[in-house]
Structure 1
């Protein structure tokens, strides 16, 4: 079927659901480590607490991609049923996550959030490839990135903004501050609304031969494992090369999401999260003594002076955490500006995806390394501006290159499998990889940001392996 060229607003509508998806990811990436620390996690524990998220993606995305390739609903279409299911479940998990009263609960909610976001996200990637003419692929993925940038910036600033509106950013020891809870509730609301907007404004193309589609679906109903295994073994060479780029890219960003909060509050603001065990009464096993349960639970401090000392340090940490979260949101803003620039360019000219991605990743790597030398909000914000350029490229260029290199009839399947190259590096990092590597440079957590920078530079240089001309650049003249 000959696909017509879509207008900017048609591409905007079909991508708008990513606003909600990115609200979920930005709140998760910016503030789950803050929740973990509030509930008593040490800095070294944090990466492992994050492991559920990439493990979930490794399992969920190929399954959803496979199923959505074989789905057709008369009203919702192929990909939209998965948007809707994922949005409902993600919104519920986002709302309840900051109300966790124990570490295991928070880690469990992170698992649910990530699983459900994955249910929504993978079909969105496939939808762009489904609906857009080959010549508009770069344009389409860049528009997605523009919306993702908007979502990242707004969501990352929510706890700070809510606090400025008068909602407290402090709470009793072991309790997540009200400003963070309100921010997550807003994120849940935006998530479901933005997905519904795409569902109501976007139509999907039906299978060209519905009878053949239904017949194939019936015949292949029980061949999931066999099909997945076969397609893993038959990955295009370009997809494998992109996998190496993705490994280094996502190792870097997982390091940021899991450790930037403790690293930057300590290194730049000299306001680390105070260890409650140094201030509270402990039982015979060394555990903190509490009174009450749930939201009424309160720490029993050693004495009034210790309680006052903890309160001062914790307030300093929460103020620093708000500023770090706000600075982190700037990478969403700069990725949005970068995506806007790419949108204007790719709408008119052939874009060299390979070198765009190479340069962008190296710039982002410099941003991570620059955090070591940052001394205040302004210098930290500049680092995140550079990181945003890499983020804008990561969310568009690999997918544009991939979609030009694979069978369009297996778009959902391969987009799901491609997620392996996103989650495997995160699993490696979570299982101790990031802690091991950064401690080779010293015990200070800020060294993790230097490791992230080196990893992103390696990702950039790995683009030199891409040689497929169709993946590197595609224009309307080739159609």
Structure 2
């Protein structure tokens, strides 16, 4: 081989391998054919993880207040999620692209993350028992309503492990979905992934809405753990079983291509291009930097319209997160007039409200799943931009309606001559559950259109799909930090309820609609393709 040909071929090989090391793929990466049913089963882990997310969203904020954490401080507990999403997902994505284990690049991280989730579930479920053993009190849980400091610390520790573990699984699971899509295409794989998420939401909220776990498994009740605690414990233990089952299905049916085969494909592609024989030489490698540093260096490559998408996404999530974090607490406090640390009748009413809120989230998830099927034809007719703008306006109105319902409920309760029993009025309860249901429509849009517009910008203006979606996740993380740190203290200034945060959410949603109308890129409806990304 001539020296020039050898150098040219080595450069081709190096370029192909460097694309893989940078998180890309070779020109013709090896794809193992996969049937549609096998692809469905390979995405099963999404359902198991989302079941746990649903329980986390519906039950944990109310429960931690029964341990003594204030309503204001309970919001700070959620700061872990944004931190994990900001740090864990980019780094894990970087490392999983380079994993050289024989079982594949993604499955080791999915397995490790799911095992950590199981540990977190056990810590959360048994936090009251652990706190009792550490000396919180010697009284029976029926006779003690004070703070349980050790239990609260253990609970928050488990909560943080759960958030980090969920982020550890989610990134590689989505990358695995794309790796396996093959001839079926990423859009169909995305739809399957989102369907599993919807299924996990539905059964998770159904589990959270029932108060019968302590009856089905009476051995879960202990001196430190009464009915509400036993119900939480039972739901989370079932979550662990479902997660282990789903991850086993994914690991078995996700026939990954190891990195060594992908690198071999890159060399074969270089050989086919050059038409020459390869002389075995060691390809030079660039010095690797940390994944998160490369991620931030790439921000300069964002397409021009991306900044507007990030701004509107940030405003939309600022409008959504207050309800997302406090929905079941709102049902327990404002609708059922309960208190997590009040009298026995108030505690009972609060727990019924939390279960009813979880039932409302179940209805919300059913509507979300159905609406996802309608987004593509609606956007083709009206454009993704206009659908997103109108959804923000609708979200603003619904947040205002939430404030009205809460004020109406509290006013009726305060005006009642006899405030016993502590419970919700039937009309108020029906309207509140209807609100939960209707909110499934804007949530479906929020889970789909920002990601679809981002994908279209990356495809037409450059910047890279992975980079753009990663930056979009940051625009979701920032609002969560703001709400986590600010919602609790803000509500505390106005009587410790949830209405003040919902009022601000209504205003922000309207601002997001106005900004979106003037700033969002004008994507054509005919070229819109739904990418239902879902998640937290």
| Interval containing the TM-score (normalised by the shorter chain) | 0.7 to 0.9
Pick which of 265-274 and 135-144 moved more: 135-144
Deviations 1:362-401 (A, max 9, x none): 4344333322344533212221122212222222322233
Deviations 1:89-143 (A, max 9, x none): 1122123213213222211111110101001112233344455589955554444
Matches within 5 A, 1:192-341: 192-204=244-256, 210-211=263-264, 219-275=286-342, 310-341=343-374
Q: What is residue 24 of structure 1 aligned with on the other side?
A: 52
Shift of 1:437: 5.5
Q: What is residue 114 of structure 1 aligned with on the other side?
A: 163
Identify unmatched segments of 5+ residues in structure 1. Answer: 276-309
Shift of 1:468: 6.5
Change (3 A) 1:257 1:349: closer
8 Å Cα contact 1:16-1:194 kept in structure 2: yes
Deviations 1:133-155 (A, max 9, x none): 89955554444333322221211
Deviations 1:276-306 (A, max 9, x none): xxxxxxxxxxxxxxxxxxxxxxxxxxxxxxx
CA distance in 2, matches of 1:128, 1:350: 29
8 Å Cα contact 1:246-1:421 kept in structure 2: yes
CA distance in 1, matches of 2:436, 2:283: 48
Selected match of 2:401 from 370, 373, 397: 370
Shift of 1:230: 0.6
Deviations 1:229-265 (A, max 9, x none): 3123433334433322332233334322432233321
Q: What is residue 455 of structure 1 aligned with on the other side?
A: 508
Pick which of 25-34 and 326-335 moved more: 326-335
Shift of 1:331: 1.6
8 Å Cα contact 2:48-2:242 kept in structure 1: yes
TM-score, normalised relative to structure 1: 0.78
Matches within 5 A, 1:31-180: 31-76=59-104, 78-100=105-127, 101=131, 102-132=151-181, 137-161=186-210, 163=212, 166-167=215-216, 177-180=229-232
Which one has a bigger Cα radius of gyration?
A: 2
8 Å Cα contact 2:490-2:500 kept in structure 1: no
CA distance in 1, matches of 2:155, 2:284: 39
Partner secondary structure for residue 396 of structure 1: helix
TM-score, normalised relative to structure 2: 0.70
Shift of 1:361: 4.1
Pick which of 333-342 and 114-123 moved more: 333-342
Deviations 1:329-373 (A, max 9, x none): 222121111124448x59x97994434433444434433332234
8 Å Cα contact 2:361-2:436 kept in structure 1: yes
Shift of 1:31: 1.1
8 Å Cα contact 1:61-1:419 kept in structure 2: no
* RMSD (Å) for aligned C-alpha atoms: 3.9
Partner secondary structure for residue 219 of structure 1: coil
Shift of 1:183: 0.5
Q: What is residue 480 of structure 2 aligned with on the other side?
A: 426
Identify unmatched segments of 5+ residues in structure 2. Answer: 1-26, 132-150, 268-281, 406-426, 531-536
Pick which of 209-218 and 197-206 moved more: 209-218
8 Å Cα contact 1:60-1:115 kept in structure 2: yes
8 Å Cα contact 1:245-1:463 kept in structure 2: yes
Change (3 A) 1:20 1:456: farther
8 Å Cα contact 2:333-2:497 kept in structure 1: no
Matched, 1:392 2:444: yes
Change (3 A) 1:396 1:382: same
CA distance in 1, matches of 2:235, 2:191: 27
8 Å Cα contact 1:405-1:471 kept in structure 2: no
Q: What is residue 424 of structure 2 aligned with on the other side?
A: none
Change (3 A) 1:450 1:355: same
CA distance in 1, matches of 2:222, 2:397: 36
8 Å Cα contact 2:92-2:168 kept in structure 1: yes
Pick which of 26-35 and 363-372 moved more: 363-372
Q: What is residue 239 of structure 2 aligned with on the other side?
A: 187
8 Å Cα contact 1:135-1:474 kept in structure 2: no
CA distance in 1, matches of 2:381, 2:95: 33
Pick which of 204-213 and 422-431 moved more: 204-213
Change (3 A) 1:358 1:443: same
CA distance in 1, matches of 2:394, 2:61: 26
Q: What is residue 385 of structure 2 aligned with on the other side?
A: 354
Change (3 A) 1:380 1:56: same
Q: What is residue 307 of structure 1 aligned with on the other side?
A: none
CA distance in 1, matches of 2:114, 2:67: 27
Q: What is residue 446 of structure 1 aligned with on the other side?
A: 499
Deviations 1:33-64 (A, max 9, x none): 12211111221221112212222221111111
8 Å Cα contact 1:126-1:415 kept in structure 2: no
